[in-house]
Amino acid sequence: MTDTRGFTEPVEPSPSVVEANRGIIDTIPPNAEDFQDAQRGLLALPGVPVIPTRDNKGVAWNFAGYDFLLDSDDQAPPSVNASLWRQGKLTAVAGLFQVTAAGNRAIYQVRGYDLSNMTIVTGDTGIVVIDPLASYETAQHALKLYRDTTEDSRPISAVIYTHSHVDHFGGSRGLFHETGDVIPKDLPVYAPEGFLDHAISENVYAGPAMARRAEYMYAAGLDKSPYGQVGSGLGLTISTGEVTLVPPTHYVGGPLIQPAKHADWLPTNVVQWREGLYQHTIDGIPMVFQLTPGTECPAEMNFYFPELRTMCMAENSTHTLHNILSLRGAQVRDPHAWSTYLTEAIQTFGEYTDVEFASHHWPRWGSENIVEFLSNQRDMYAYLNDQTLRLIDEGFNGIEIAEKLRHLPPGLAEHWYNQGYYGSLSHNFKAVYQRYIGWFDGNPAHLWNLPPVQAGVNYVRAMGGPAEVVRIAREAYQAEPPQYRWAVELLNHVIFASGEAGDVFEVPADVLQDAKNLQAEAMTQLGYGAENGTWRNFFLTGAEELRNGPQKPTSHGASDLVRSMTLDQFFTAMAKSVDGPKAAREQRSPLVLRWVLTGTGQECTTTLRNGVLIHVDGQDKLAGKPQATISLTREALNDLALAGIRFKENFDAAVAGGHIQVDDQAAADTVFGYLTFPDPVFPLVTPRPVPSDQEPGPVTG
C-alpha cells in the first residue's frame, strides 16, 4: 500500500487485532471435512496463471494472485482474521471437479474461475451448462478446461440460469467462443420466471451505484495479499471481463413450463408430488424444479436430478451466512421466505438426495449430512427474521438489535458454514429491521438529520475545531483497548466538514490530511480484524481511497442486458436520468415526443412534465400533439441506451447518418438536455467536490 505520505510499507496490525484474530479460530470446532470436500473429485487444475480480457489489455481473472493462500500453511498471518483466512484457502481451490456420476450421466463443476461455479451436466446429445459465471472470458476458459480434460466435444444442448445475479449469466456468450460467438437459434435457455426483469432492474436502473459499491465489496483495486484482498467469503472476487447475456427462451413458471399436475407426475421423479413443483426433461435429463422467489434473489430456483439423486440449491444454501441485504446495494431479501423454501426443499428432496451442490463453494455428500446442513442454514435465516421482529416489538432499533445479538445460538454458531464470511449478523439484523420497519427508528431526533457535510461542520465546531477532533480521535485510536469505530466516526466529521463551500467553514489542509491518514489507519485495523470478507474489503478499500483517491473502475458495461430491454424498460431507465428540478424549473409546459421503431412498428410516447418523463405504450391521446416524432431502428435505440454521457452526440451522429429521423430536432434536444449521466467513481469516503457556481449552504437546519 502506498499513501500520500509516500510510505510503501504495509500498515501492520495492532497487538489487539493480532490477539483477536488468533483467538477466533479456537471458538469453532475443527473440521477437516471441508478441505477434503473442496478437493474431492478434482480432475484438472487451471494450468494458466491468468485469464486475459478479450482485448488482451487487462486481466479478467488472476489465479496466480491468490497463490499466497494456497502456498502458505494453515497458520493465518496476523493481518487476517483466522476464520476468514480458512475460508479464503477453501475458496482458492480451483479446477475441474466431478461431482457425481451414474451410467452415462455425470455432473461436473468448474470452481475457482470466478466468484461463482459453472456446472456441466452430460445430456443425451450434448452438455447442459448451469450458471456460466460472470464474464465471457472466464466462462470460455472454464468450458475449455472441461473439454480438454474430458475430451467431450459435443455441443452445448441447453443453458440454465439458477437466478438473475450477474455472476450466474454474465459469461453466457463465452460458451460459444469456439463457434465464433454464433449461438444456435434453437438453443433452449432456462431461467426462473421474472429473471429478465430483475436482471435489468438490478444491473441497469441502479447499475452505476451498485457497480461503484461493488468496487468496495470485492476490493477490485486492492493488492491480493495478507495486507489486502483475501477473498469475499462467497468466493475470491468477481471477474472483470465482459458481461454478456444470452436471453432466456424458457421460463420455469412461464407459459412453457407450468406446475406439474398430480395426475401427470412421473414415477421416475423419485420425489413425491406436491403443489408447485415443476417437471421437465432437458436433453434427456429428467429434472424437478422448485421456484424460490424472494430468497437470495427475487427470481431464483432450486432443482433436482432424479437419475443422480442430486440436488442443486442455486445460491439458497452456501458455506457462509449470506446477505439479507448486499453491501453493494439491492432490494432487501425476505429471510422468512428463505427459511420457508429451505424447509420445503428439505421436505421434498432431503431423504432422496445423496449429493447437494450449489452455485458457490463445494458440494456435500450423504443424505443425513445434507439434511443437517440445510436444516441449520434454514434455522439461521429463521433466527435472523424472528429475533429481529421480537426486538422490534420491544422497541429496539436496527443498530441496537445488531449490537444486542452479536452471536448465533451455540447449535448454529458451531458450524463453519454458518459463519458470517459474506453476510454478517450485524448488517443482516439491520436489513431485516429495514425490511419490516424502514429507515426511520421512530425517534424524532432522527427524522430530519443534517446531511454529512453540514453535520460535520456543526460537530467539528462544537468539539473545538478540526485539530481538536483529530486529537480526540487519535486518543481513541491509541486507547487500550483501541476504539477504532469511534475514531472513524469522529474523523468522518472532519473529512466531510471540508466539503462546505465558500468561507463558511474551513478545514486546514494539513489537518484534513492528518484526519484522512488517521481514519485510513483505523479503517485498516477494522479491516484486518473482520471475519467478514466484504467488511474487510470495504474497510481496506476505503482506507486506500483516503490515501490515494478512487481508482479507475474495473467493471465492464453489460451491453447484452441493454439489448434485451423492452421499450418500457428503456424509457424507465431514461426517466431516472432526468434532472427533475432543472426540468421543472425551465420547462413549464409539457413536451411530448413520439418514438417509432421502424423495424417492428412499435410506438411509445414520452411526455416531459413537472420534472418527470412519463411514457405510454403506443400513442398517448391525452398528452396532446407530439412536438416531435423520432423514427429509429432497435439497433439505433440500443446505441443510445449504451451511449451514456455521449447520448446527445450519438443521437446527432445517427441523425446525420440517416439512422434516426426526427421532424423537430429542437424539441428532441430540449428533452435530451435534461438528461444527466453519473460519474462512475463518485466519492464514498470523502465529500463531493463543491461546484464552482454553488453558493455556501446553511450549516444549521
Last residue of a domain, one of 491, 522, 548: 548
Domain of 463, CATH number, reads 1.25.40.880
Whether residue 335 sits in one domain with residue 236: yes
Between CA 592 and CA 602, with CA 611 as vertex, the angle to 5 degrees is 35
Q: Which helix (H) or strand (E) holds 95?
A: strand 95-102
Q: Which helix (H) or strand (E) holds 122?
A: strand 118-122
Residue whose C-alpha cell reads 477504532 in the numeric block: 484
Residue-range definition of the domain harbouring residue 261: 15-384
Tell me, yes or no, whether 187 lies in a domain.
Answer: yes
Whether residue 473 sits in one domain with residue 521: yes
pLDDT of amino acid 265 = 96
Tell me, yes or no, whether 2 lies in a domain.
Answer: no
Whether residue 276 sits in one domain with residue 241: yes
Cβ atoms of residues 289 and 303 within 8 Å: yes
Tell me the DSSP string of 161-211. Answer: -SBSSGGGTTTGGGGGGGGTTPPPTT--EEEETTHHHHHHIIIIITHHHHH
The span from the CA of 461 to the CA of 94, in Å, is 54
Nearest to 305 by CA among 121, 441, 483: 121
Tell me, yes or no, whether 3 lies in a domain.
Answer: no
Nearest to 85 by CA among 31, 24, 19, 36: 24
pTM of the model: 0.95
Q: Which helix (H) or strand (E) holds 84?
A: helix 82-91
Tell me, yes or no, whether 557 lies in a domain.
Answer: no
Q: How many domains does the chain have?
A: 3
For residue 547, give the 3-state DSSP assignment.
helix
Whether residue 339 sits in one domain with residue 261: yes
The span from the CA of 640 to the CA of 645, in Å, is 10
pLDDT of amino acid 28 = 75
Q: How many C-beta atoms lie closer than 10 Å to residue 658's C-beta? A: 7
Nearest to 511 by CA among 530, 488, 495: 495
Tell me, yes or no, whether 308 lies in a domain.
Answer: yes
Q: Which amino acid is present at 226?
A: P
The span from the CA of 379 to the CA of 677, in Å, is 44
Last residue of a domain, one of 384, 402, 422: 384
Whether residue 322 sits in one domain with residue 187: yes
Whether residue 96 sits in one domain with residue 155: yes
Q: Grid coordinates standing for 475?
A: 486518543
Q: Grid coordinates standing for 452?
A: 454529512
Tell me, yes or no, whether 418 lies in a domain.
Answer: no
pLDDT tens readout for residues 229-272: 999 999 999 999 999 999 999 999 999 999 999 999 999 999 99
Whether residue 337 sits in one domain with residue 466: no
Tell me, yes or no, whether 498 lies in a domain.
Answer: yes
The span from the CA of 516 to the CA of 492, in Å, is 8
Tell me, yes or no, whether 4 lies in a domain.
Answer: no
By CB neighbour count within 10 A (0-12 exposed, 13-18 middle, 19+ buried), where does 333 fall? Answer: buried
> Within 13 Å of residue 637, how many CA atoms lie on the same side as its CB?
26
Whether residue 624 sits in one domain with residue 530: no
Q: Grid coordinates standing for 493?
A: 466529521
pLDDT of amino acid 678 = 87
Residue whose C-alpha cell reads 421543472 in the numeric block: 584
pLDDT tens readout for residues 413-470: 999 999 999 999 999 999 999 999 999 999 999 999 999 999 999 999 999 999 999 9
Whether residue 536 sits in one domain with residue 597: no
Q: Which helix (H) or strand (E) holds 262?
A: none
pLDDT of amino acid 57 = 93
DSSP state of 536: H
Whether residue 466 sits in one domain with residue 523: yes
> Phi and psi at residue 120, in whole multiples of 5°?
-125, 130
Domain of 131, CATH number, reads 3.60.15.30
Residues of the chain with pLDDT under 70: 1-8, 501-504, 555-557, 690-701
Domain of 574, CATH number, reads 3.30.1050.10
Whether residue 297 sits in one domain with residue 154: yes
Residues 6+ positions from 325 with CB-CB distance below 8 Å:
332, 333, 427, 428, 430, 431, 434
Pairing of the two strands 189-192 and 250-252: parallel
Q: Which helix (H) or strand (E) holds 43?
A: strand 42-44
Whether residue 43 sits in one domain with residue 168: yes
Length of the chain, please? 701
Between CA 354 and CA 362, with CA 357 as vertex, the angle to 5 degrees is 115
